[in-house]
Structure 1
Amino acid sequence: MANKLIDLGIRPLYGYISLEKKMQHVQKELDHLRHQWDNMIARVQGAQSHLRKKRKRAVEEWLKAVDEIKIEFGSLKEQAQQASFYSIYARLKMVQHADKMIKEVTELGASLEEILPDGLLVETEWQGQKIETNLKEIWAWLMNDGISSVGIYGMAGVGKTTLAKRIYEDFVIGTKFSDKVYWVTASQEGTIHKLQDSVAIAINVDLSNEEDERKRAAKLFLALSRMEDFVIILDDVWIPFDINKIGIPLGLDGSKLIVTSRSLEVCHQVGCQKEIKVKPLCEKEAWTLFLEKLRPSLELPLDVKEIAKSMVQRCGGLPLGIITLAGNMKGVDDIHEWREALEELEGSFLGQNGNLFDSLHLSFNHLRDSRLKECFLYCSFYPENYKIPRDELIRLLILEGVMDKRRSRLSLFDQGHVMLKRLESICLLESHTEVNVSNYRETECVKMHCLIRDMALTIMDFDSKYMVKSGRCLKHIPDEIEWKGDLEKVSLLHNNISLISSGTSPNCPKLSSLNLASNPLRLIPDSFFFRLRALRVLNLSRNCELEMLPNSISQLGNLTALLLFDCCRLSFVPPIGKLKALRELDLCHTAINNVPEGMERLVNLNCLNMDRTGLRMIPDGTIYRLSHLQSLRIPEDVEVRVEELKALKHLEEFQGGFYDIDTLCHFVRSMPNN
């Protein structure tokens, strides 16, 4: 007992006397730490300037901690100098403080050893002008007290997460939010429960003993509401959800929510007040990024540079694609290897077995509606970078049976526009406007990003029912060996095919759709359609050299659409009376002078277009028999009896002329909605 009392008395006295020694110990450890600090700063600055890399966050945090402890020691020294020698309590507190600092400095020195093996730097994220512009706009929104939620959307690989990381870093460094910025990565199959878990882990709230989603949300809401200022970044959100069900108090003073998604619709439904679309890089920025990731300090030989530029163009401005490409070509110096790589790239999808393909493919897999998948794949039937007129595309989708069965043509087009808008909102299609230079009329179009189209073609390559060779500059149709027996859809759109050899007869008993539009076809042999009896949609539009159709078309009893628009020299169509399934016949801007033989027997015809033809008259009774017509277009100088038009109970659209104004008024009054 006596010994214990002696210890209790000596220990404070020892500490009281040894403050100076303790301070010297701290100073010595700090000097060693400062030496480590100086070495690290020199290494980091040198690497940053030459390698265009940036500090790891662990390095940032270590340097910040050293800075703080230096300030803290300076304050302690000042207190020690001012404290009275006889102020026992104050000196004891300072001894304890010094002990604590010795421990912290020692731990900081040891922690540096953990950082060094993995390197001090990481690759710099892309800092292009487009990102800087987007960042400036988003930052202006976030600094506005009236805006608490921002959505960042765009296609896979375009740089949404990179942009969000920049925002995260800017918030962390030098703002009032610095210690309350939370990064939460959502999953593709993210449920409310999983998102709650992710947010809880980020803000250090324990939800392990609570299963009820409403109670979990209440706990998160309460924890976040107690914070004065916080930022939550939800990265890669796939499924729209009610933010209140998660437990995030959207709109709370000082709170900010940032959402990244491939879907504009998700941003809307989550409640984002502002949205920004991240678009692909321009050609100049794409090339700069490629060079930075390939070999920043070396100049490419001229012959290699031309090949490399072609390869970068194939990436369509997608940073992820460009970085993948640069990684594949790093260290390649031989011109032969570069040429071979370009050849392979042009014949296949970039990164088919890598992150880019997987990332883009997720967007397709996430389409739960099979009709949307069909619609998406159908867009890839058009050539690369082709601006597809919306109405033309929807019309073909209707004929392909992609739409629901509906009574009115207008409702089918409405459904088509909604489907295309949906694909645009998730960035699988892009909206464009095409202006006709001859009449300055605008046409609303959609377009596929080249890598998105590559992904779609890759998907179809795994399925033997598709053959797509659009925009390939083909001079001949594919050899018969390529026309597999399982083929169902073939697109040879926009090629230079002028002749199909006599005797050619593909054996494709399942082929339902054949698109040979926009070719300079002069002749199609009779044999060509002999073994294509399942054909439903035949598109020969814009074949301006074609003068006549083969007689074998008359035997295609399953044909539902025969499209001959803009075949301006076409003057002969064989008898079509046996095509009882035909629903659409488009002869607009052809050279026909007479109604095709047997047309009056096409009792299931919905759409008939004979505008801009050499037609002078339609035999009486012909139109009357086509009782299911919904759309009829004829030349203005061809007279049709009003009685025949009145008999068309399903007619929604009529383009043609009338004998006089009284006849027109009589027809208008007879329409069902008047």
Structure 2
Amino acid sequence: MSHYESNRRVFGVFLGRVSKLVLNLLPKHPREKAMAECAVGFVLDKITTLLEEKVNLIKDVKQEVEYVRDELERMTAFLRVADAAEDSDPELKVWVKQVRDVAYETEDIIDEFMLQLHSTNGCGLVGCCGFLDRLIFSVGKLKTQYEIASEIQSIKSRMTDIAVGHRRYRYKFSAPNQTSSLSGNGGSAGGVDRQGDALLLEEGELVGIENPKKQLVTWLVEGVSRLKVVAVAGMGGLGKTTLVKKVYDDSIVKKHFHNHAWITVSQSFNLEELLRDTIHQLFDQMKMPVPQEMSTMNGNRLKATIKDFLRQRRYLLVFDDVWSIQAWEAIKYALPNEDQGSRVILTTRLMDVASSCSVETDGYVYQLNPLSEEESWILFCQKAFHRNSCPNHLIDICKNILRRCGGLPLAIVAISGVLSTKKETNIDEWKMLNYGLGSELEGNDQLQSMRNILLLSFNYLPYYLKPCFMYLSNYPEDLLIEHNVLVRQWIAEGFVRRKEGRTVEQVAQGYLNELINKSLLRPVKTNDDGSVKISCIHDFYREIILSKSRDQNFATTTIERNMAWPKRVRRLSIHGELENSEVERYGARLCSILSFGVIDSNSISSILHLLKSSKMLKVLDLTGLTLENFPEVILELLHLRYLCLRNTRIKRLPDSIKNLQKLEMLDLKGTFITELPVGILKLQYLRQLLVYRHLPGAYMPYNYVHGFKALKGIGCLKSLQKLCFIEVYPGSRVLKEIATLTELKRISITKLSNEDCVVLCSAIEYLDKLSSLGLRALEGEILDLQYLHSPPPFLQRLYLGGQLAMFPHWIQSLRSLVKVYLRWSRLKDDPLEYLQDLPNLVHIEFLEAYVGENLCFKAGKFQKLKLLGLDKLEALKLVTVEEGATPLLEKLIIQRCKLLESVPVGIERLSNLKVLEFFDMPDEFIFPLSPETSGDQYWKVAHIPEVYHTYWRNGCWEVYTLEDLQANDKSGKPGNVVVKTQEQRNWL
């Protein structure tokens, strides 16, 4: 046998055995399959990756792998329709864990093989035979083919034992019934019906219900006479059912409607049973016998019976706990839509369901929010102490427990119920629950039903969202989650798969939106285009996914030192510190390491030591570590896709960064790196390259950001989507290369000269996918952008820094533009004239952008503007807002406009203005606004909820409200001062 044939057979045997193992590890029953789907999906990805590598040079092997991949894809598609039932069956949970572990080990073998495959890239052999020689060399370098086969055989043997040991168990299941529900008792488990309990609460036991109830009653009994749907939405445990039941029982509502029915839907439901329940309620209410043949009617006849009964009647129907748009679609055709003033209320955890169901009837959506701190405290004290106060020695503990409840009434009632059984004098018991809330959720019977209700939202997630949601268990408690970072990590982990016509980033953003719509993530901060920028997760949901992560060996956090550790950790999140003694137990099979708040040198040393044995790592985030030099050990992580060294002290990258051939995201924000090595050009999969550092200070200096020097040849990085901040230099040919980066969505270029502008404009015209563009000239240079004739059509954000020769005419054509910053532009003409007809403009900020005396927002213009910032317009004397202009303006910031004579004329008409803030404005401008100094301008701003004036003094911002002016001293300075710690204001 030839050497070539022998080598090919070795590789074929290896793949064949892996293929059979993957096929054998799939559970045989649909319900079991769902639990292992995620793990098996990763193995499928590995095989697909193998197929896409140089392996495809071998024809026979390629055909074999393609066959296995196709089989796995068909099986995975079937897995996706199965329900998870781990929490309701402990034996099944154990079985699935074993299957998952075998899948993980299979993934590790393939990763190890691929690692050896890639390590031969530099041996100089070419062609098919050369590849096979390198392949055998690499396999032999780690283990002989027989050792690899032995590992596979060992796993196959374990899998056989699992199957034999559970054969009788597996066959006791019947095929899953598509109309059955995991929550047939109304969404609870363990025989405790918390949803039913919610219907029995007295109104006196409730807190914070008055305003929501009043609003809902108004929507039901007033308004147009056609049928309307009122949807009440919010996360599980907020009290949607309780609120709607009080509205349903209200005397005004009872009198207004002729017929009423309350139908609980739940996650899965039998449509015919639901319709029969509706008929029973409607007929019983009228003391009429139900149709005798009802038990034999099909769905269409049942709907017709309901519709005939409700004709010419004013009815109110409540559909409680709706989990899908399809559920509403199945019900709505039974409801006559006549001008009788009928109403339907539905409750749901899903915002998209609420919106969809209400929009077709021009109805309403009421998004139920958590209780305020005051309301939460009242409810807590009532339930824990049966009074409206708390013993002094327990106040701090109780407030911390209450903070973790996050305003969730279900959680407050459940936790306070547990505490009500404890002695008020035994402070240790109260501390124990405070610090061990996670274990209490799992082990305390009094909290189990609450956990089950919250767990429903997790169990109901589609297969592709579960690992994404569980990934949040890596993040510390109370951490605000930056969506851009999270999306990059999901992608690098392989959780996000491409869809036709959409980038992987767009798919991931869709995943985030789904989690928000399902009330599992709470938005904290939005972008100007309305997308969510930062969100947070409720503490109790975090406890649930922490538990899930431990059970499934999905992720481990170092803060959980008292927990039982898995044998092999897949993902490690380091919170605060990592001890050297802990490094060994984390094993060598890590696929991600995230660090949060690690500052001590011993922990940093431990992390670097851990990296030496973490060759399979895909995600590495070392944000904030006090690293002076780039850790050389990172260069051995050949599987790495995501590398974040944000806010470290690193000054340079080694040229051997080129070893990281799979790297897709490189985040060097906040480092001291100003040049990149030529080796970076070898990273052909790189999609995001972020290298810049902002200078600290009270106000933004002209050179407020340092980027990296333009790298000749950067045009070869064809996959780049984000490139910030690149510094060009006069005569650089890099601008021409930028024209070839046609996948770019965001780019920021600094240190431009006037002579660069022609080439720059020509290059930008090729970037038709661009949504964010930042350009800044060298100080003293002119930014002449008149040469740009066909700007990127979907540009949303535009940041221009430096003196403009004239206002760029093409900006007026940017119909998608939502944000525009003009800095140091020194325009002579009013820039508002050119911006006023942009239909989607939300955010405008001017810094030394205009040298004129008047700015005018003309009548009817700027219909979507929400935020306006005016800074250091030194000649500005008058701002006018005409009738109907900027009707949606919410925040106005004016600073360092020393000659401005008064607040904008017409500001009193801006009814949506919520925040008005002045920075370093003269006292003679501020004092007329005070209600306590006989200010003749106060009436203009009296309707604005928050009005502040702020000064930079002694290295910090001093913030005053208008009311503080009443304590002014002889010098005329206000007396009551709120001092903010020193921080860089980043609104500009």
TM-score normalised per structure 1:
0.71
Letter in 2 for 1:200: I
Which residue number corresponds to residue 217 of structure 2? 139
Residue 761 of structure 2 corresponds to residue 665 of structure 1: yes
* 1:236 aligned to which of 306, 321, 339: 321
1:440-472: CA deviation from partner (whole Å, max 9, x where unpaired): x99831111222222222222212231135xx6
Asked if structure 1 preserves the Cα contact closer than 8 Å seen for 2:708 and 2:725, the reply is no
Q: Which residue number corresponds to residue 585 of structure 1?
A: 666
1:238-257 alignment, distance < 5 Å: 238-240=323-325, 241-242=328-329, 245=332, 247-257=334-344
Deviation digits for residues 516-539 of structure 1, max 9, x if unmatched? Answer: 144326544653212101101111
8 Å contact from structure 2 (residues 741, 767) kept in 1: no
What is the SS of the residue equivalent to 1:577? helix
Q: Contact 2:673 / 2:708 at 8 angstroms: preserved in 1?
A: no
Counterpart in 2 of 1:467? 556
User: Would you say the 8 A contact 1:607–1:631 is kept in 2?
Assistant: yes
- Specify whether residues 263 and 299 from structure 1 end up closer, same or farther in structure 2 by C-alpha distance, changes over 3 A only: closer
Verify the 8 A CA contact 1:609 1:634 in the aligned structure 2. Answer: yes
In structure 1, the residue matched to 2:370 is 280
> Distance in 2 between the 1:619 and 1:339 partners?
57
Against the structure 1 CA distance between its residues 509 and 607, is the aligned structure 2 distance closer, same or farther, given a 3 Å change threshold? same
Aligned equivalent of 1:567: 648
| Structure 2: distance between partners of 1:361 and 1:330 | 25
CA distance in structure 1 between the aligned counterparts of 2:617 and 2:456, rounded to whole angstroms: 33
- Structure 1 residues 573 and 171: alpha-carbon distance in aligned structure 2, compared to 1, 3 A threshold: farther
Corresponding position of 1:489: 571
In the TM superposition, residue 223 of structure 1 has moved relative to its aligned partner by 0.9
Query: Residues 639-670 of structure 1: CA distance to partner in whole angstroms, max 9, x if unpaired?
Result: 55244334445444332245511120231244
- Report the more deviating stretch, 121-130 or 515-524: 121-130
- Pair 1:570–1:190, CA change in 2 (3 A): farther
Distance 1:130 1:668, change over 3 A: same
CA distance in 1 between partners of 2:749 and 2:723 (Å): 8
Match of 1:608 in 2: 689
In structure 2, the CA distance between the partners of 1:326 and 1:246, relative to structure 1 (3 Å rule), is farther
Following superposition, the deviation at residue 574 of structure 1 comes to 7.2
Aligned counterpart, 1:324: 414
Alpha-carbon distance change, 363 to 257 in structure 1, aligned in 2, over 3 angstroms: same
SS at match of 1:519: coil
Partner of 2:348: 261
CA distance in structure 2 between the partners assigned to 1:266 and 1:656 by the alignment: 43
Q: State the one-letter code of the partner of 2:457.
A: S
Hey, what's the Cα distance between the residues in 1 that align with 2:745 and 2:391? 63
Task: Quote the residue 1:13 is aligned against.
Answer: none
Residue pair 1:188, 1:237 contacting (<8 A) in 2 also? yes
Q: CA deviation at 1:188?
A: 1.9
Amino acid at match of 1:222: D
Q: CA RMSD in A?
A: 3.5
Query: Which residue pairs with 1:632 in the alignment?
Result: 723
Among 270, 277, 294, which residue is 2:357 paired with? 270
Contact (CA 8 Å) 1:587, 1:609: kept in 2 or not?
A: yes
By how many angstroms is 1:238 displaced? 1.6
2:619 corresponds in structure 1 to 537
Matched ranges for 1:138-157 at <5 A:
138-146=216-224, 148-157=228-237
CA contact (8 A) 1:518 1:540 kept: no
**Matched residue of 1:314: which SS?**
helix
1:360 to 2:438 alignment? no
What amino acid maps onto 1:662 in structure 2? V
* 2:294 corresponding residue in structure 1: 208
2:25 alignment partner in structure 1: none
Conservation of the 8 A alpha-carbon contact between 2:681 and 2:716: yes
Distance of 2:638 and 2:722 partners within structure 1: 22
The answer on whether the counterparts of 2:637 and 2:660 sit within 8 Å (CA) in structure 1 is yes
Partner residue of 1:166 out of 239, 246, 249: 246
Deviation at 1:308, TM superposition (A): 3.2
Partner of 1:35: none
Do the aligned partners of residues 516 and 244 (structure 1) sit closer, same or farther apart at CA in structure 2, a change above 3 Å counting? closer
Shift of 1:254: 3.7
Per-residue CA distance 1:172-208 (angstroms, 9 max, x = gap): 886143x732221113212432321221221134463
What displacement does 1:245 show? 4.9
User: Within the alignment, does 1:452 sit opposite 2:544 as a pair?
Assistant: no
Contact 1:387 1:434 (C-alpha < 8 Å) held by counterparts? no
**Residues in 2 aligned to 1:484 and 1:141: alpha-carbon distance in whole angstroms:** 53
Which is further off, 418-427 or 124-133?
A: 124-133
Distance change in 2, residues 1:390/1:616 (3 Å): closer
Would you identify which runs of 4 or more consecutive aligned residues in structure 1 move more than 6 Å?
Answer: 613-616
Q: Which residue of 2 aligns with 1:11?
A: none
The yes-or-no answer on 1:390 pairing with 2:483 is yes
Q: 1:316 to 1:610 in 2, by over 3 A?
A: closer
**Structure 1 gap ranges (5+):** 1-120
1:184 is aligned to 263
Q: Is the 8 A contact 1:350 1:356 kept in 2?
A: no
- Identify which of 225, 229, 240 aligns with 2:311: 225
Which one-letter code corresponds to 2:233 in the other structure?
Y
Distance 1:570 1:188 in 2: 54
CA gap of 1:362–1:619, structure 2 versus 1, over 3 A, is closer
2:635 aligned to which of 554, 560, 563: 554
Q: Tell whether the 8 Å contact from 2:728 to 2:734 is kept in structure 1 after alignment.
A: no
Q: Deviations over 1:247-288 (max 9, x none)?
A: 122455142211111122222333461111122212222222
Query: By percentage of residues, which structure has more strand?
Result: 2
Question: Contact 1:196 / 1:246 at 8 angstroms: preserved in 2?
Answer: no
* Counterpart-to-counterpart distance in 2, 1:431 and 1:338: 31
Q: How does 1:95-134 map to 2 (within 5 A)?
A: 124-125=202-203, 128=206, 130-134=208-212
- TM-score computed with the length of structure 2 as normaliser: 0.50
Code of the residue aligned with 1:152 in structure 2: it is: V
Provide the C-alpha distance between the structure 2 equivalents of 1:615 and 1:286, rounded to a whole number of angstroms: 47
* In structure 2, distance between residues paired with 1:671 and 1:434: 26
Amino acid at match of 1:237: V
1:430 aligns with 2:522: yes
From 504, 514, 517, give the equivalent of 1:412. Answer: 504
Distance of 2:522 and 2:311 partners within structure 1: 40
* SS across alignment from 1:559: coil
Counterparts of 1:290 and 1:152, CA distance in 2:
24
Deviations 1:314-368 (A, max 9, x none): 3222221122123223342241433333333265537765111100100111112
For residue 74 of structure 2, what is the aligned residue in structure 1?
Answer: none
The 1:453–1:614 alpha-carbon spacing in structure 2 relative to 1, beyond 3 Å, is: same
Cα distance in 1 between the residues matched to 2:404 and 2:236: 16
Query: 8 Å contact 1:156–1:359 — kept in the other structure?
Result: yes
Larger relative contact order (CA 8 Å, sep ≥ 6):
1
Q: Tell me which residue corresponds to 2:433.
A: 341
Cα deviations across residues 35-87 of structure 1 (Å, max 9, x unaligned)?
xxxxxxxxxxxxxxxxxxxxxxxxxxxxxxxxxxxxxxxxxxxxxxxxxxxxx
Give the aligned residue type for 2:517.
Answer: S
Trace 1:42-57 onto structure 2 (pairs within 5 A).
none
CA distance in 1 between counterparts of 2:483 and 2:219 reads 34
Distance in 2 of aligned mates of 1:175 and 1:308:
43
Aligned residues: 534
Deviation at 1:232, TM superposition (A): 1.3
Mapped to 2, the partners of 1:359 and 1:351 lie a distance apart of: 15
Contact 2:553 2:568 in 1 (8 A): yes
CA contact (8 A) 2:320 2:348 kept: yes
